[in-house]
């Protein structure tokens, strides 16, 4: 059995209550940090553990904490990003509803390390029941003296606020999240200034993903060295993977970073393989934003090495032959899946979710969706394929926030690896637009 850091106790009955969580050793890390460590020592532990942000970008968490500006007399904030709306990613939801105290303990440790007196958990608005679970857990922790004034007699005060989100994917982008938290329209801000200097209410702020923060109790209890020993290379620790699509056992799995894609997909401990009688055609390894890869390239890198579930291995080969770990949304397609239809579906999502501030994303996402819609419905023409690639290139890198990139990459990668399938749609418009029609031409199935 692989090492479990976040989900070890997740199936203990009643673990959502303070008592059950405490019985499993919960809140000992908060006690240890507040009573025996200085804030800087906690930051140092986060740095040494090598834990990287689990929200998508994979930025080292300790380093981010180290960048926080600390001007005199200005409050600092820790904000937990629980807006999780990326198609294919549903791990934070699972963690928060099952074991809310783990996140709360992580927030206490993180807030202490950063010197925040007030911290926020910004939860995706659709998850109202999770918000109630978190609020109940916060009330329990407050009653037990782990939150509020003078925590555990250490003189440290912390108020933890749960904020329901605005119900938009864009509110997961950290600066849009801060705008939304301030009560405004969730439009991303131009950077610089970065949140570490001017974040919430123009004060220094750290935004971290739920899973990133939930690692802290284990790191404090077991030490950063023990954490860094798990995983592979610069991908330390474990990662929650949301597995979905054409597999035997969809669900959330905690893996040690560095297991092979092959093992994750096929072993009974995890996905249990592609559904019976079918073959792997394509895979999105890190949530809808990351490039899609065909079966052969996701199993082995271009150099013929085994592809591992780690930041480095998945991005091996750049975008030409690689992808990204992203937020860990593992979406599996077998040979019955139509790549054009799926690409259109993703494009539709990004079009719907673009905030509309900057012109490349506002207009480009809609344009790509319409062209893809046309191709899928048998009205495409040959130059549409290159047009799509060109639009995606003109969006990428030119937008205020990375939503533009996230919209461009799936389209560009689908055409990069499945061009024949797009062309088949264009040259066989009638056949391709029939319900359930799928390209049957040559492709590498595994």
Partner 1 sequence: MTQWTLFGMEETKPQLIKITFDGIEVEVAPGTTIMEAARKIAEADESQAALVPPAMCYYKPLPTSGGKCRACLVKVAQGSAKDPRPMPKLIPSCITQVQEGMVVENITNQGVLDTRKSIVEFLLINHPLDCPICDQAGECHLQDFAFEHGSAKTRYEEDRRTFDKIDIGPHIQLHMTRCILCYRCVYTADQITDKRVHGVMNRGDASEISTYIEKAIDNDFSGNVIDVCPVGALTDKTYRFKNRVWFTKPEDAHRDCDKCCGKTTLWYRGDEVIRVTARKNTWGEVNDFICNTCRFEKKKTTDWVLEGPTKVKRSSVISANKYRADLIKKPDFALKLAATQFKPIDDTRDYVTDQETIRHQSIEDNDKANHRSLAAKNN
When the beta carbons of 81 and 315 are compared against ligand FMN, the nearer one is 81
Residue 232, strand partner residues = 235
User: Which among 114-122, 192-200, 205-213, 218-226 is the span making contact with ligand FMN, rule CB under 6 A?
Assistant: 205-213
With binding defined as CB under 6 A, does residue 81 bind ligand FMN? yes
39, 55, 87, 186: which one contacts ligand FMN (CB under 6 A)?
Answer: 55
With binding defined as CB under 6 A, does residue 287 bind ligand FMN? no
**CB 238 within 8 Å of CB 256:** yes
When the beta carbons of 172 and 204 are compared against ligand FMN, the nearer one is 172
**CB 74 within 8 Å of CB 203:** yes
CB of residue 203 to partner 1, shortest distance in Å: 18
Q: Compute the distance between CA of residue 285 and CA of residue 242 in angstroms, rounded to an integer.
A: 10
Q: Which does 399 bind (CB under 5 to 8 A by kind): ligand FMN, partner 1, none?
A: partner 1
Q: Compute the distance between CA of residue 257 and CA of residue 3 in angstroms, rounded to an integer.
A: 10
Q: Compute the distance between CA of residue 378 and CA of residue 329 in angstroms, rounded to an integer.
A: 30
Q: Single out the residue of 313, 227, 286, 242 nearest to residue 51, CA to CA.
A: 227
CB of residue 366 to partner 1, shortest distance in Å: 4
> Which residues does 370 contact at the CB level (< 8 Å), separation at least 6?
none
Q: Which does 136 bind (CB under 5 to 8 A by kind): partner 1, ligand FMN, none?
A: none
240, 295, 403, 415: which one contacts ligand FMN (CB under 6 A)?
Answer: 403
Beta strands, E only, 238-372: 238-245, 251-256, 280-284, 293-294, 329-334
Of how many residues is the chain composed? 446
Q: Which does 233 bind (CB under 5 to 8 A by kind): ligand FMN, partner 1, none?
A: none
Q: Which does 173 bind (CB under 5 to 8 A by kind): partner 1, ligand FMN, none?
A: ligand FMN
With binding defined as CB under 6 A, does residue 212 bind ligand FMN? yes
Residue linked to tokens 């020592």 = 41
User: Which among 54-62, 139-147, 370-378, 384-392 is the span making contact with ligand FMN, rule CB under 6 A?
Assistant: 54-62
Q: Which does 352 bind (CB under 5 to 8 A by kind): partner 1, ligand FMN, none?
A: partner 1
DSSP assignments along 64-126, one per residue: HHHT----TT---EEEEEE---STT--HHHHHHHH-HHHHHHHHHHHHHHHT-SEEEEEE-TT
Residues forming contacts to partner 1 in the complex (CB under 8 A) are 168, 170, 185, 190, 351-360, 362-367, 370-371, 374, 381-383, 386-387, 394, 397-400
**Burial annotation 93-106 (CB, 10 A radius, 16+ → b, else e):** bbbbebbbbbbbbb
CB of residue 93 to ligand FMN, shortest distance in Å: 10
Residue linked to tokens 């200097």 = 197
CB of residue 166 to partner 1, shortest distance in Å: 10
When the beta carbons of 77 and 169 are compared against ligand FMN, the nearer one is 169
Q: Which does 59 bind (CB under 5 to 8 A by kind): partner 1, ligand FMN, none?
A: ligand FMN
**CB 110 within 8 Å of CB 208:** yes
Site for ligand FMN in 351-390 (CB under 6 A): none
Site for ligand FMN in 147-176 (CB under 6 A): 169-170, 172-174
Q: Compute the distance between CA of residue 117 and CA of residue 282 in angstroms, rounded to an integer.
A: 46
30, 50, 62, 84: which one contacts ligand FMN (CB under 6 A)?
Answer: 84
With binding defined as CB under 6 A, does residue 207 bind ligand FMN? yes
Q: Compute the distance between CA of residue 180 and CA of residue 82 in angstroms, rounded to an integer.
A: 13
With binding defined as CB under 6 A, does residue 242 bind ligand FMN? no
Q: Compute the distance between CA of residue 347 and CA of residue 280 in angstroms, rounded to an integer.
A: 22
CB of residue 397 to partner 1, shortest distance in Å: 5
With binding defined as CB under 6 A, does residue 201 bind ligand FMN? no
With binding defined as CB under 6 A, does residue 252 bind ligand FMN? no
Beta strands, E only, 288-401: 293-294, 329-334
**335 φ, ψ (degrees, to nearest 5):** -70, -5
Residue 123, strand partner residues = 82, 164
Q: Which does 397 bind (CB under 5 to 8 A by kind): partner 1, ligand FMN, none?
A: partner 1
CB of residue 51 to ligand FMN, shortest distance in Å: 9
**CB 305 within 8 Å of CB 278:** no
CB of residue 56 to ligand FMN, shortest distance in Å: 5
Question: Which residues here bind ligand FMN, judged by CB under 6 A?
Answer: 53-57, 59, 61, 81, 83-86, 169-170, 172-174, 207-209, 212, 401-403, 406
């Amino acid at each position: 059995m692989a090492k479990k850091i976040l989900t070890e106790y997740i199936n203990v009955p009643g673990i959502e209550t303070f008592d059950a969580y405490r019985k499993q050793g919960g809140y000992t890390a908060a006690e240890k940090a507040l009573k025996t460590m200085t804030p800087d020592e906690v930051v140092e532990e986060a740095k040494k553990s090598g834990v990287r942000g689990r929200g998508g970008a994979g930025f080292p968490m300790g380093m981010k904490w180290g960048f926080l500006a600390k001007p005199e007399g200005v409050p600092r904030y820790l904000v937990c990003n629980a807006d999780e709306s990326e198609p294919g990613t549903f791990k934070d939801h699972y963690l928060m509803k099952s074991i809310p105290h783990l996140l709360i303990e992580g927030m206490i440790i993180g807030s202490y390390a950063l010197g925040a007196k007030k911290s926020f958990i910004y939860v995706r608005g659709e998850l109202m029941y999770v918000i109630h679970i978190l609020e109940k857990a916060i009330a329990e922790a407050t009653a037990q003296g782990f939150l509020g004034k003078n925590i555990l007699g250490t003189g440290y005060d912390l108020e933890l606020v749960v904020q329901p989100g605005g119900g938009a994917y864009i509110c997961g982008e950290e600066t849009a999240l801060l705008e939304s938290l301030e009560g405004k329209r969730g439009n991303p801000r131009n950077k610089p200034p970065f949140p570490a200097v001017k974040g919430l209410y123009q004060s220094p702020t750290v935004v971290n993903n739920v899973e990133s923060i939930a690692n802290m109790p284990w790191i404090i209890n077991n030490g950063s060295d023990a954490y860094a020993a798990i995983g592979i290379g610069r991908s330390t620790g474990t990662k929650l993977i949301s597995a979905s699509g054409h597999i035997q056992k969809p669900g959330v799995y905690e893996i040690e970073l560095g297991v092979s894609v092959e093992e994750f997909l096929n072993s009974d401990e995890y996905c249990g393989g592609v559904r019976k009688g079918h073959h792997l055609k394509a895979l999105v390894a890190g949530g809808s934003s990351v490039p899609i890869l065909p079966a052969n390239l996701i199993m082995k890198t271009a150099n013929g090495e085994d592809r591992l579930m780690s930041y480095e291995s998945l991005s091996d080969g750049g975008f030409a032959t690689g992808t990204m770990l992203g937020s860990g949304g593992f979406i599996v397609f077998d040979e019955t899946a139509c790549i054009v239809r799926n690409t259109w579906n993703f494009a539709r999502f990004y079009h719907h979710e673009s905030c509309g501030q900057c012109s490349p994303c506002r207009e480009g996402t809609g344009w790509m969706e319409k062209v893809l819609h046309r191709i899928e419905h048998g009205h495409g023409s040959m130059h549409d394929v290159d047009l799509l690639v060109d639009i995606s290139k003109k969006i990428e890198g030119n937008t205020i926030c990375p939503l533009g990139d996230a919209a461009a990459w799936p389209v560009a990668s689908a055409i990069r690896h499945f061009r024949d399938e797009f062309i088949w749609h264009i040259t066989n418009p009638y056949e391709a637009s029939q319900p359930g029609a799928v390209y049957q031409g040559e492709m590498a199935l595994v």
